[in-house]
Amino acid sequence: DTGVSQNPRHKITKRGQNVTFRCDPISEHNRLYWYRQTLGQGPEFLTYFQNEAQLEKSRLLSDRFSAERPKGSFSTLEIQRTEQGDSAMYLCASSLAQGSYGYTFGSGTRLTVV
């Protein structure tokens, strides 16, 4: 297993377009998290899944954002009608159970909305 994989690494999009990011967690991890990080700030929680169930969603996540984890494997994060304020690093992490083993993060997807 090569760890948590995120694609694409970088995405530049025009304002108003839709974008989708993918995260492949460590295969035996049943929890998957999405965070967003802007320059100089720590990551902010967006949402998390246990297996295929989305258990919590931050109020930061407007109705333009949607995340899925079909079959409890990889996850996608879609942003519709992107805005310049959506420009950030989107980080995915996975873990076993109730965080006993901590998070393993992917390298992130850098989104730039122009």
Partner 1 sequence: KQEVTQIPAALSVPEGENLVLNCSFTDSAIYNLQWFRQDPGKGLTSLLLIQSSQREQTSGRLNASLDKSSGRSTLYIAASQPGDSATYLCAATANAGKSTFGDGTTLTVKP
User: Which stretches of the chain bind partner 1, using CB under 8 A?
Assistant: 6, 31, 33, 35, 40-45, 48, 50, 55-56, 91, 93, 95, 98-108, 110
Our measurement of the distance from residue 26's CA atom to the centroid of its chain's CA atoms, rounded to an integer in Å, reads 14
Which is closer to partner 1, CB of 52 or CB of 80? Answer: 52
Residue (of 60, 55, 46, 53) closest to 90 by Cα position: 46
Least gap, CB of 96 to partner 1 (angstroms): 10
With beta carbons less than 8 A apart as the criterion, state whether 112 and 90 touch: no
Which is closer to partner 1, CB of 17 or CB of 41? Answer: 41
C-alpha to C-alpha distance for 21 and 9, rounded to whole angstroms: 9
Which is closer to partner 1, CB of 57 or CB of 76? Answer: 57
